[in-house]
């Protein structure tokens, strides 16, 4: 189905209240007017085999209700996948990996539950299944359902993740209330946000630990220094340009006061206008073809124009109730190590138990699967109640 046709159909589907029944894989439902609570499933259908994981068992695509993270009130429909390992469930059920995905775009057609897993993510999540975990993977609010996807908004992401787990535990047999929060890139920050919001928003969920790779952490000082370095005349193309375009597209979708021309130059505005409708691979190619760099794309007033979106990226706390594992590649150009290690420093300073790892010579994507042996040891410890060795000053390995 084409993206324009999908965008026309989705609002029509959203106007109809649907029961929990078998629907076409792309179908979803709007939040009914009657009172429901976060985590209520409004639609469910088998997930197509091509969209599932290798050697998986039963797999579903669901629509569930979640608190609107943009307004912090009311309910909105959000979509997710639930993928169980093959074979009989262990006694007590499968524990859960709550998967927070990385950047795919902000258009509905980019939603992970409508697309096959990348080879990298297929290997990564299949490894978690082999460890004995079921996968619950939200698309995030506004991605695959009506409304704006507030890209990198920590509250939006956290509510979407937590309510997807509530929906799975309440409605799918053979699942156990023991949860690992796992995320990469955008999802790495979403995983940390989920851990931060969980004690107050979903205290009934038994979260054991958080695994975050490539996780961005933004403060005015860190971002200002990063943009200054990346905006030098010889800096060239940076993947960061795609993320700031998506960040602005998400802001424009929910803030009528945002003026794109205060954030982007005339050279960048045509590509920016496409960001709301293009998934990451396509947008990245457009930015390269247009010769965009941070130096020639951002206005001097960029930080001021983007301040509401930057504020929404902050965490309510970094004093996490459970241990945090982080993985950072020294050659990460998508989320520079300075931002990721800033998160480690801040979480350690807040009193969290942090086990940080740095992988020498690896980029943003390579770090994901390279971190699996270390995260396996971390996961075994937190799932069995063993102490985690803190590591706040990691050295490359």
- Strands laid side by side in the 134-138 sheet: 41-46, 56-67, 75-85, 134-138, 94-100, 175-184, 207-213, 324-329, 354-359
Residue range 133-144, pLDDT digits in tens: 999 999 999 999
Residue range 217-241, pLDDT digits in tens: 988 778 777 777 766 666 688 899 9
Q: CB neighbours (10 Å) of residue 367?
A: 24
In angstroms, rounded to a whole number, what is the distance separating the alpha carbons of residues 154 and 247?
12
**Amino acid 9: pLDDT:** 40
**Amino acid 123: pLDDT:** 98
**Amino acid 231: pLDDT:** 62
Average the pLDDT over 149-162 and give the result: 98
Q: Is the pLDDT of residue 180 over 80?
A: yes
Average the pLDDT over 46-54 and give the result: 97
Whether the CB-CB separation of 321 and 199 falls below 8 Å is answered with yes
Confidence of residue 148 (pLDDT cuts 50, 70, 90): very high
Residue ranges and CATH numbers for the domains of the chain are: 3-217+316-383 (3.40.50.1820), 220-312 (no CATH)
């Amino acid at each position: 189905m084409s993206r324009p046709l999908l965008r026309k159909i989705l609002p029509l589907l959203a106007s109809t209240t649907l029961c929990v029944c078998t629907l076409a894989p792309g179908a979803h439902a709007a939040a009914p007017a009657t009172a429901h609570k976060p985590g209520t499933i409004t639609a469910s259908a088998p997930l197509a085999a091509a969209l599932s994981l290798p050697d998986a068992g039963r797999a579903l695509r669901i629509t569930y209700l979640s608190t609107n993270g943009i307004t912090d009130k009311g309910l909105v429909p959000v979509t997710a996948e639930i993928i169980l390992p093959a074979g009989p469930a262990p006694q007590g059920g499968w524990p859960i990996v709550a998967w927070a995905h990385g950047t795919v775009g902000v258009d509905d057609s980019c939603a992970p539950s409508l697309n096959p897993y990348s080879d990298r993510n297929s290997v990564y999540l299949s490894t978690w299944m082999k460890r004995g975990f079921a996968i619950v993977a939200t698309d995030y609010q506004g991605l695959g359902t009506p409304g704006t996807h507030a890209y990198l908004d920590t509250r939006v992401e956290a509510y979407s993740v937590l309510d997807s787990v509530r929906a799975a535990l309440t409605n799918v047999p053979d699942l156990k209330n023991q949860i690992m929060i796992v995320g990469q890139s955008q999802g790495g920050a979403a995983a940390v946000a989920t851990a931060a919001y969980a004690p107050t928003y979903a205290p009934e969920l038994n979260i054991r630990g958080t695994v975050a790779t490539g996780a961005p952490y933004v403060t005015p000082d860190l971002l200002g220094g990063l943009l200054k370095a990346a905006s030098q005349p010889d800096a060239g193309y940076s993947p960061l340009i795609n993320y700031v375009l998506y960040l602005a597209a998400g802001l424009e979708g929910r803030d009528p006061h945002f003026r794109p021309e205060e954030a982007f130059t005339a050279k960048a505005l045509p590509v920016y206008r496409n960001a709301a409708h293009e998934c990451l691979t396509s947008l990245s190619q457009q930015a390269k073809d247009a010769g965009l760099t941070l130096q020639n794309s951002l206005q001097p007033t960029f930080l001021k124009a983007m301040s509401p979106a930057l504020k929404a990226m902050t965490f309510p706390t970094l004093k996490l109730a459970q241990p945090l594992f982080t993985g950072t590649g020294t050659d990460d150009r998508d989320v520079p190590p300075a931002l990721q290690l800033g998160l480690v420093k801040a979480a350690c300073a807040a009193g969290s138990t942090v086990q940080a790892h740095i992988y020498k010579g690896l980029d943003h994507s390579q770090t994901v699967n390279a971190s699996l042996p270390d995260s396996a040891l971390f996961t075994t410890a937190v799932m069995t109640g063993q102490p985690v060795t803190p590591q706040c000053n990691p050295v490359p390995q």
